[in-house]
Chains A and B, each alone.
Chain A
Amino acid sequence: MADKVIPLHMIPDVQSEVIERDGKRYLQSNESMFTFYKRSKGEFSKYFLGLKEEKKIYGAKCPKCGLVRVPPFMLFCPDCDFAELEVIEVAQEGVMNSTPPITYFGHSLMQHQVPFGRGRVMLDGADTALPIHVYTTKGVLTPRVFKRGTRVKVVFRNDRIGNPRDVFAVPIDEVPENKRRVKGLQENDLDWLSPAEPRIPAATPEAQKTHESVVQQLIAMASQAAGSDRAKKDLAGWKRTIQVKTAGGAFGLKIDDGKLAVEPKGFDRPDLVMIAADPRLFSDWMNSKESLTNAIIAEKLWISHNKEFTTVFKLDRVPRSLRRTQK
């Protein structure tokens, strides 16, 4: 089945329910606000067709002031009495206009694509910056990859529909030298090897002792979570088995529709693997001194699948919810 403009799994059933507050009953119902479009790209069509069909990037140059605007978001220059602009092909290399933000908590249509970076690239010869996704071929995107001035190469998706997501940028030093000047470079021209599971230092008695302590603390936290409506809500409707590995050993965490459980022996075929050399990371997490999200950003924690950031977010809510419940 072709992709739908509204993913089918996001669409709820027609129904209503009663919520109680302070002894009173309130009705709420599943509703939506939607409109379908056959939306013309109008004067921007040449730009988007350039992405889709030609693997070219177009800009608009003012014959009077010489300004080159990329993307060509208008065809008449307001600074020169609306002089008509000339559409020109521009370079596919440039620099980051500023350090791009990395989204770790995306909106509901992008939840499975985090973490992703959205930056602005000043292509060579341009005077305005092109909004674009940024990726690295080296694994999980962390803030150290892209900075202001990082030289980048625009890469075209293998499948394109005439959409801003048809292109993205990678650091040019991740592109083989013989491909750096190639126009229309595609994603399958690059090496996207998955990063190998990080090696864990050899176990020490101290790390094993800390690891055992962490497991006991986690068991206690899971018990507390069972008595916290907030924590149960954090994990409602979610099922995952997680194998956690540290320098002190391994254990399993299980999320089962609102319940959190510790499996000291772990799982043979987990949904997700988490690796942290230092088991104290999990103590810090339980004591709200560190979040798992931040640990991934700081490269102190590794997860096996990017899409499982959603699971990490849910786990990150639990210590905070327990703190609020206790208060």
Chain B
Amino acid sequence: MRDVAIIGAGITPCKGRWVEKTYYGLAQWAVKEAIADAKISIKDVDAAVYGIYNDIFELSAIPEHPLQGIIGMTNKPGMRITCGGATGAYAMLTAYTWVASGLYDIVIALGVEKCTDCFDFESKTSTPEVIKTIGWSGDTFFERELGWTASDSYAEVVLAYMDEHPGDLKDEVSAKISEILCEHVQNNPYGQRYGEKVTAEMAMNSRYIVYPFKLLETCVYTEGAGAIIFASMDKAKAICKNSGHPIIKVAGVGASNEHNVAGRDDRHKIMHRILSDHLAAKAAYKMAGIKNPLKEIQVVELHDAFIKQLQITMAEMGFVPLGRADDLIEEGIMTQGGPVLVNPSGGLTYGGHFVGGSNMFSCWSARRELIKRGLDRALIHGTGSTIAQYGVAMVIERRS
């Protein structure tokens, strides 16, 4: 396997709805930004990997096909990845693999999603129809008819964790994390809730959508796009010399998919664990040579579909012990001046969640923080599918 680096990244502003843009326009915009960032031509790119989660959002069973030409990739390889919430992370993993294998030298991973065109004509709002559309992702024989949603599915895992660790995930802690993420998004002008102020008290008092998830501790729905360009190390050295950006090496990757049925042991889903996150991070750490993530990773861009899930994932990835996820706040792990900067983009709760590209958004932010703050190492995480079944982790390092 060859060493691989990230040489460019671009995202669109995140909005609850882009009336002014189709997903074609958003995709082209993100690619244009990434190419400009890397200071290369799209002609230099050998292949494309598309992260588009849900056919129904885009009204097409092959939603990537119109993008090939408009992003300048005519007659080159292009493949779509769809893996629920972890679509973007799996798309980046694929792009990385294509380069690491030696098959291609430069590959662009493009994630895009348009979701709030969906509209419920009864309530005259988008959200119920967006939730229904995501609801088509659940098991179609035994669960969908029961009203499966992404929220109640992740809530199952969180409640099971709370059964196992009854003193953890206190509401006050989750609310404080929400406040911190809101503060972070003020440093991200592309963030959906840039300019909005949410305090811990407001998060604490916001209404439940699915018990135990509250509105201000839940990710937003976003329309947008993000693109990350991966290159072989040889190519990256030349390109980064020209662009003036430091080389950001992909030091470790890992992924895991659990069973979708709950059972008594790990032959099926253990409901109180997010084992996929644990196994994905473990593999990425091994590849990157990381022994103690708390001491060796400075930035985490984590897929915070829900704040309490963020806390469990941080525990599964080794930053706090399982059962003591509240240490993130109570021991100052992710508070200002703490050892780990978590979701400086504002995360999916405040920054934005355009599903197929949300993990590109996280990668864009993690790379930005390494460069801007002169830090060494960051972890990017994606989760997805029913009951947090899929987990993907990627470690990146600043090299010059």
List the interface of chain A (C-beta within 8 A of B). Answer: 9-12, 19, 21-22, 24, 26, 28, 30-31, 33, 41, 44, 67, 69, 71, 73, 79, 97-111, 113, 116, 118-120, 122, 127-129, 131-133, 143, 147-148, 163-165, 236-237, 288-294, 297, 310, 313, 316, 324, 327
List 17 extra interface pairs beyond A21-B19, A98-B262, A147-B163, CB under 8 A: A11-B121, A67-B267, A98-B156, A98-B163, A103-B149, A105-B127, A107-B132, A108-B120, A108-B123, A129-B261, A131-B139, A164-B146, A237-B123, A288-B205, A289-B201, A291-B207, A327-B196
B373 interface contact, C-beta 8 A: no
B201 CB contacts on chain A under 8 angstroms: 289
B43 interface contact, C-beta 8 A: no
Question: B230 to nearest A CB, angstroms?
Answer: 33
B210 CB contacts on chain A under 8 angstroms: 101-105
Q: Mark B14-55, 1 if CB is under 8 A from A, else 0.
A: 000001100000000000000000000000000000000001
Residues A165 and B146 in contact in the complex (CB < 8 Å), given A98-B272, A101-B210, A120-B156? yes
B122 CB contacts on chain A under 8 angstroms: 9-10, 108, 111
Q: Which of the listed residues A131, A133, A310 has the most CB atoms from chain B within 10 Å of its own CB?
A: A131
Question: A187 to nearest B CB, angstroms?
Answer: 16
Q: Which of the listed residues A24, A98, A289 has the most CB atoms from chain B within 10 Å of its own CB?
A: A98
> Once the chains are docked, how many angstroms separate the CA of A28 from the CA of B114?
14
Chain B residue at minimum C-beta to C-beta distance from A106: B147
> Once the chains are docked, how many angstroms separate the CA of A108 from the CA of B130?
8
Question: A290 to nearest B CB, angstroms?
Answer: 6
A28 CB contacts on chain B under 8 angstroms: 19, 117
> Once the chains are docked, how many angstroms separate the CA of A297 from the CA of B152?
16
> Once the chains are docked, how many angstroms separate the CA of A19 from the CA of B21?
12
Chain A residue at minimum C-beta to C-beta distance from B138: A131
The reply to whether B156 and A292 form a contact with Cβ atoms under 8 Å apart is: no
The reply to whether A164 and B209 form a contact with Cβ atoms under 8 Å apart is: no
Residues A128 and B211 in contact in the complex (CB < 8 Å), given A31-B59, A73-B142? no
Q: Which of A21, A69, A73, A294 contacts B20 (CB 8 A)?
A: A21
B162 interface contact, C-beta 8 A: yes
> Once the chains are docked, how many angstroms separate the CA of A56 from the CA of B188?
56
B143 CB contacts on chain A under 8 angstroms: 118, 131, 164
The reply to whether B271 and A98 form a contact with Cβ atoms under 8 Å apart is: yes
B372 interface contact, C-beta 8 A: no
> Once the chains are docked, how many angstroms separate the CA of A109 from the CA of B122?
10
Chain B residue at minimum C-beta to C-beta distance from A28: B19
Chain B residue at minimum C-beta to C-beta distance from A102: B211
Q: Which of the listed residues A108, A122, A129 has the most CB atoms from chain B within 10 Å of its own CB?
A: A108
The reply to whether B121 and A103 form a contact with Cβ atoms under 8 Å apart is: no
The reply to whether A101 and B211 form a contact with Cβ atoms under 8 Å apart is: yes
Chain B residue at minimum C-beta to C-beta distance from A165: B145
B93 interface contact, C-beta 8 A: no
> Once the chains are docked, how many angstroms separate the CA of A116 from the CA of B19?
34
Q: Mark B133-169, 1 if CB is under 8 A from A, else 0.
A: 0110001011101111101100110011011000000
Residues A104 and B209 in contact in the complex (CB < 8 Å), given A97-B262, A111-B122, A129-B262? yes
Chain B residue at minimum C-beta to C-beta distance from A122: B264
B286 interface contact, C-beta 8 A: no
B293 CB contacts on chain A under 8 angstroms: none
The reply to whether A297 and B142 form a contact with Cβ atoms under 8 Å apart is: no
The reply to whether A103 and B147 form a contact with Cβ atoms under 8 Å apart is: yes
Residues A163 and B211 in contact in the complex (CB < 8 Å), given A101-B155, A108-B131, A294-B205? no
Interface size class, chain B: 35 or more
> Once the chains are docked, how many angstroms separate the CA of A269 from the CA of B31?
59
The 7 closest A-B pairs by CB, nearest first: A291-B207, A101-B155, A98-B160, A107-B132, A108-B128, A107-B131, A293-B207
The reply to whether B141 and A73 form a contact with Cβ atoms under 8 Å apart is: yes
Chain A residue at minimum C-beta to C-beta distance from B129: A108
The reply to whether B209 and A105 form a contact with Cβ atoms under 8 Å apart is: yes
The reply to whether A118 and B147 form a contact with Cβ atoms under 8 Å apart is: yes
A291 CB contacts on chain B under 8 angstroms: 205-208
Q: Which of B145, B159, B214 contacts A98 (CB 8 A)?
A: B159
Q: Which of A10, A31, A128 contacts B262 (CB 8 A)?
A: A128
B264 CB contacts on chain A under 8 angstroms: 122, 127-128
> Once the chains are docked, how many angstroms separate the CA of A100 from the CA of B155?
8
Q: List 28 A-B contacts (CB under 8 A).
A: A11-B121, A28-B19, A41-B141, A73-B141, A73-B142, A98-B262, A98-B272, A99-B159, A103-B209, A103-B210, A104-B209, A105-B131, A106-B128, A107-B128, A107-B149, A108-B132, A113-B147, A118-B147, A128-B261, A131-B146, A133-B146, A164-B141, A165-B145, A288-B205, A294-B208, A294-B214, A297-B208, A297-B211
The reply to whether B19 and A26 form a contact with Cβ atoms under 8 Å apart is: yes
B139 CB contacts on chain A under 8 angstroms: 131
B268 interface contact, C-beta 8 A: yes
Chain B residue at minimum C-beta to C-beta distance from A234: B125
Q: Which of the listed residues B20, B149, B208, B268 has the most CB atoms from chain A within 10 Å of its own CB?
A: B208
The reply to whether B163 and A127 form a contact with Cβ atoms under 8 Å apart is: no
> Once the chains are docked, how many angstroms separate the CA of A102 from the CA of B209?
9
Question: B317 to nearest A CB, angstroms?
Answer: 22
The reply to whether B205 and A128 form a contact with Cβ atoms under 8 Å apart is: no
Chain A residue at minimum C-beta to C-beta distance from B59: A33
The reply to whether B162 and A99 form a contact with Cβ atoms under 8 Å apart is: yes
The reply to whether A164 and B145 form a contact with Cβ atoms under 8 Å apart is: yes
B135 CB contacts on chain A under 8 angstroms: 107, 109
Question: B232 to nearest A CB, angstroms?
Answer: 38
